[in-house]
């Protein structure tokens, strides 16, 4: 890194790595239960700043299995200086373009069309301001009301433990954000999305970090339940066709509208890790 990390940055970075480890272990366990020996491959990457100085890096974890056709779980810790143009788009960076960011990001594309695909990320960013962001959203090719309700109920519970206003606020944020304007459809059945949960006083780090941790734990609790519930279901060629067409919509959103994709590419991140969200196969009519 180009600078010494402070206690907050180290604490966030360390926990994101632990969350990555816990999620990957659970996903490998599911693969084993399905009779697969698939495991995660971990690929480290380093980032350089435009001036050639070290700018951090990360670790891309990927697995192709019997249940998880393609899943990526990546962690990164990067720092440097935003370009003048991009700094104007980032909270607290316009007056000082230096930044630090650490987080975990996950996208799972499932083999069985009845198993919902999913996206989750949690992150901690520092400019002249500091804040947490993240969330999780469910993206089934064949929606099931029971799965949708269970997923939302678990996120609702995680939010309620911290602030009764969080769930309705962050659910709406997800509904508004995960939307494909040129298709006039939502990317999936939603979840929660939040950003700029700022540290305005010293005690805010522990409070907002605890919430972000609970979002990660809620995801690790509920999503494996949904996978195990659906992964043995039979599917038809028509179901697979529907899944592949839906994946096309998912790819369109991530390439055109997703802020995380933009952030990674604008800050010189690892392209393969940034685009791990794209499905292994997709179709367009």
Q: Which of 119, 152, 186, 208 is catalytic?
A: 119
Closest CA to 12 of 147, 104, 88: 104
∠ CA 30-19-102, nearest 5°, is 135
**119 flagged as catalytic:** yes
Helix (H, G, I), strand (E, B) or coil at 126: strand
Torsion angle (degrees, nearest 10) of CA 230, 38, 107, 151: 30
Q: Distance between CA atoms of 110 and 115, rounded to whole angstroms?
A: 6
- CB of 38 closer than 8 Å to CB of 63: yes
Helix (H, G, I), strand (E, B) or coil at 166: helix
Closest CA to 27 of 103, 104, 109, 139: 109
- CB of 102 closer than 8 Å to CB of 13: yes
DSSP state of 67: S
Token pair listed for 283: 């179709």
- The catalytic site residues sit at 119
């Amino acid at each position: 890194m180009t600078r010494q990390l402070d206690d907050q940055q180290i604490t966030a970075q360390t926990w994101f790595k632990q969350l990555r480890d816990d999620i990957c272990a659970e996903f490998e366990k599911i693969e084993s239960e399905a009779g697969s020996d698939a495991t995660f491959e971990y690929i480290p990457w380093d980032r350089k700043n435009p001036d050639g100085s070290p700018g951090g890096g990360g670790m891309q974890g990927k697995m192709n299995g019997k249940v998880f056709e393609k899943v990526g779980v990546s962690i990164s810790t990067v720092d440097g200086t935003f370009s003048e143009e991009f700094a104007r788009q980032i909270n607290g960076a316009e007056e000082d373009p230096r930044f630090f960011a650490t987080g975990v990001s996950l996208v799972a594309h499932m083999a069985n069309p009845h198993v919902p695909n999913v996206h989750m990320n949690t992150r901690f960013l520092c400019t002249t301001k500091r804040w947490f962001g993240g969330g999780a959203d469910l993206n089934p090719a064949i929606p099931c009301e029971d799965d949708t309700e269970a997923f939302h109920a678990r996120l609702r519970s995680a939010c309620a433990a911290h602030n009764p206003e969080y769930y309705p606020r962050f659910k709406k944020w997800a509904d508004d954000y995960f939307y494909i304007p040129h298709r006039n459809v939502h990317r999936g059945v939603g979840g929660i999305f939040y950003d700029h949960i700022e540290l305005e006083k010293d005690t805010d780090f522990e409070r907002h970090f605890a919430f972000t941790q609970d979002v990660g734990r809620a995801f690790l609790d509920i999503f494996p339940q949904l996978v195990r519930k659906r992964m043995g279901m039979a599917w038809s060629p028509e179901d697979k066709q529907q899944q592949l067409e839906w994946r096309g919509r998912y790819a369109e959103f991530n390439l055109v509208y997703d802020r995380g994709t933009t952030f990674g590419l604008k800050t010189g991140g690892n392209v393969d890790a940034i685009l791990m969200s794209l499905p292994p196969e997709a179709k367009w009519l």
